[in-house]
Amino acid sequence: DRQPTSMGKKMKSQLKVVSGALMLALAGHAMAATDWLTPTVAQKTNPGTITVGTATATPTAWAGGDGETLVQQLGTSSTATTHFADYTGGGLGINNSLDGEAYGAQPDHAIDNFGRQEMVLLTFDKAVNLTALTMGYVSGDADFTVMAFNVNGVTGAPTLGTGTNKTWNSLGVSGSGWTLIGDYQNSTTGTKTFANSYYSSYWLIGAYNPLVGIMAGFASDNTADYFKLSSVSGNVCTATSGNCGSKVPEPSSLALLGLGIMGVLRMRKARKV
C-alpha cells in the first residue's frame, strides 16, 4: 500500500476544514418544532398569550370587507356579539361585530368568509416557520389563506387597520410588508400542510381571502368557508445571530463552500492519476 504523501495529508486537512465550515453554517440555522395548541377553558373568552415550546404566540381576531377598515374582534364574555373564542371545542373561531354574528351560532362561531373575511393574526416572540395547521371543526367548505409579515427579517410589526395595513386589499399591495404564502383547499377536519421556507413573527391565517391576492393556479369557488383553528405547527428559528430568512444558509455561502469542497476533491483525484 502507498503511504499518504505530505501533499495528501494537507489536502485531507483542507477537506476537513471546508466540511467543518459547512457544518457550522448549517448549525446556525438549526430548527426546533413547535405547536400552537387550543387554549385552556380559562382562556376561551379571550385567549391572551399562549406558550408553544420556545415561542409564545398572542392570537388576535380581525374582520373586514372589500375596502373596509379592518376591525379587531375582542371578546370578554359569553354574551358578547364581538367574540374571538373556542366555543364548544374544535379550536378558535370568530363571531365578528361587523356581521352581527351571535355568540355560538353555527356556523358563524367559526372563522369564515361569509359576509366579511375573517382571519387570525398570530404574533410570536420569535421568528417561526409555520408549515401546517389543524382544523378541529369544518362546516361545508374550508378553503383557507396564509400570509406572513416581513419574511426577510425586516424590523417592525404590522398595525392592522391603519396605514398600509388598513384593509385586506392593502395587504396585497407591494410595500405592505405582507407575503401571500398561499391559498389552500381543505373540505374536511384534520391537518393541512403548507410547506414554505419563510420565517416571521407575524402570521395571518383565515378563511379563503381573495382580497389580499390570489395565489397563481388556485381554483377558487363560490362556496363560503367555515373552520376552527385548533393548532398550527412548524419550526422556530434558533440562529444565534442574524435572522432566519430561509431554512438553509444563504445560497451564495453554500455555493462558495461547495466550490471549495469540489476543488479539494479534484486536487485529490489529480494526485492519484
The secondary structure of the chain in percent helix, strand, coil, rounded to multiples of 5, reads 20, 35, 45
Percent of the chain with pLDDT over 70: 61
Mean pLDDT of the chain: 74
Quote the pLDDT of residue 260: 52
Does residue 107 have a cis peptide bond before it, meaning omega lies within 30 degrees of 0? yes
What's the whole-number mean pLDDT along residues 113-124? 93
Nearest to 126 by CA among 47, 240, 251, 204: 240
The CA distance from 50 to 52, in Å, is 6
* Out of 65-79, 109-123, 157-171, least confident range: 65-79
* Contact between 155 and 196 (Cβ < 8 Å): no
Q: With a cut of 50, say whether residue 261 has pLDDT above it.
A: yes
Q: In the predicted model, what is the mean pLDDT of residues 104-108?
A: 83
143 within 8 A of 185, measured Cβ to Cβ: yes
- Cβ pair 47, 56 in contact under 8 A: no
Distances (CA, A) of 14 to 5, 17, 23, 220, 270: 14, 5, 14, 55, 16
In 3D space, the residue among 36, 238, 248, 52 whose CA is nearest the CA of residue 127 turns out to be 238
When pLDDT is cut at 50, 70 and 90, the band that residue 230 belongs to is confident
Read off the pLDDT of residues 54-81 as tens digits, 9 standing for 90 and up. Answer: 888 888 889 999 999 998 887 544 444 4
Average pLDDT (142-148) is 96
12: which residues sit within 8 A by CB, 6+ positions away?
4
- pLDDT bucket at 215, cuts 50 / 70 / 90: very high
One-character DSSP codes across 225-259: BEEEEEEEEEEEE--SSS--SSSSS-HHHHHHHHH
245 pLDDT band (50/70/90 cuts)? low
The pLDDT confidence band at residue 174, using thresholds 50, 70 and 90, is: confident
Phi, psi angle pair for 11, to nearest 5°: -65, -40
Other beta carbons within 10 angstroms of residue 135's beta carbon come to 24
- 98 grid coordinates: 361587523
| Mean pLDDT of the region 32-55 | 49
- pTM value? 0.73
Q: Write the CA distances from 153 to 18, 30, 44, 102, 110, integer angstroms.
A: 28, 16, 32, 39, 32
Average pLDDT over residues 109-129: 91
Q: Pinpoint the alpha helices (H) of 59-206.
A: 168-171
